[in-house]
Amino acid sequence: MPLVFSTEAKQKLRETVARYPSAMAATLPALHLAQAEFGHVSDEAIEAVASELGLSPAHVYGVATFYTMYNKRPVGTYHVQVCTNVSCMLDGGYDCLRVAQAAASVAPETFTVSEVECLASCGTAVCVQVNDDYHEQMNVQRLEALLGELGRRG
């Protein structure tokens, strides 16, 4: 079924487009908006962005698949993104990743886990981003506690 942006989202998109010299420049903001509206960036969401901006679906698809933040598949309630890059690795990033994966294997609807690259929080390693929020100075115990808390909240 074709997806349609809400009236508010359409309004926001028009304001965004007006700030740039070309409609194409609004592709990234529009995809962010689509992800917020529709939960993830499906092929239908891509069609909706393309028709809203007057661009080809092929262009929007190319952009949507280039950037890691656009989820092409649905994610759980909490998208747990564990940094395992060097500074975090030195402080147990991979142990944290295993903890997160274990939690997700028990509750796949609640948690989706991704291993991510440096989150620019290396001085407070390990860094774990859950949805939009950074959780710094994580270790196995603190991450287990955090995921336990989120799991109960659901």
Partner 1 sequence: MADIATKIVTQNFGNEAAKSIVEYERLGGYAALRKALATDRGAIIDEVKKSSLRGRGGAGFSTGLKWTFIPKEAKSSYLVINADEGEPGTFKDRALLAWDPHLLIEGALIAAYAIRASHIFIYIRGEFVREHSIFARAVEEAYAKGYLGVRILGSEFSCEFVVHRGAGAYICGEETALLNSLEGKRGWPRLKPPFPAVKGLFGQPTIVNNVETLMNVPWIATHGGDAFAALGVPKNGGLRLLCVSGHVDKPGIYELPMGVSLLEVIEKHCGGVRGGRKLKGCIPGGSSMPILTAEECDVAVDFDTLMTSEKIRPVESKPGEIFHFGGRPLRTMGGSGGVIVFDETTDMVAVCARIMRFYAHESCGQCTPCREGTDWLARITTRMAEGNGRPGDVDLCESVACNIAGNTICPLGDAAAWPMMAFLTKYRPEFAAKIRTAA
Residues that bind partner 1 in the complex, under the rule CB under 8 A: 19-29, 31-32, 59, 62-63, 66-70, 84-87, 89-90, 117-125, 129, 132-134
Q: Is residue 107 exposed (0-12), middle (13-18) or buried (19+ Cβ within 10 Å)?
A: middle
Token pair, residue 22, equals 């070309």
Nearer to partner 1 among residue 63 and residue 143 (C-beta): 63
Q: Are strands 78-83 and 133-135 parallel, antiparallel or unpaired?
A: unpaired
Separation between Cα atoms, residue 74 and residue 86, nearest integer Å: 29
To partner 1, the closest distance from the beta carbon of 152 in angstroms equals 24
Contacts of 51 (CB under 8 A, 6+ apart): none
To partner 1, the closest distance from the beta carbon of 106 in angstroms equals 26
Q: Which of residues 113-142 bind ligand FES (CB under 6 A)?
A: 118-122, 125, 127
Separation between Cα atoms, residue 55 and residue 4, nearest integer Å: 16
Nearer to partner 1 among residue 19 and residue 152 (C-beta): 19
Q: Taking CB under 6 A as the rule, which mask of x and - marks residues 38-57 in contact with ligand FES? A: --------------------
- Could you tell me if 97 and 135 are in contact, meaning their C-beta atoms sit under 8 angstroms apart? no
How many residues interact with ligand FES (rule CB under 6 A)? 12
Q: Are strands 111-116 and 128-130 parallel, antiparallel or unpaired?
A: unpaired
Q: Which of residues 84-103 bind ligand FES (CB under 6 A)?
A: 85-88
Nearer to ligand FES among residue 13 and residue 125 (C-beta): 125
Question: Would you tell me which residues interact with ligand FES (CB under 6 A)?
Answer: 83, 85-88, 118-122, 125, 127
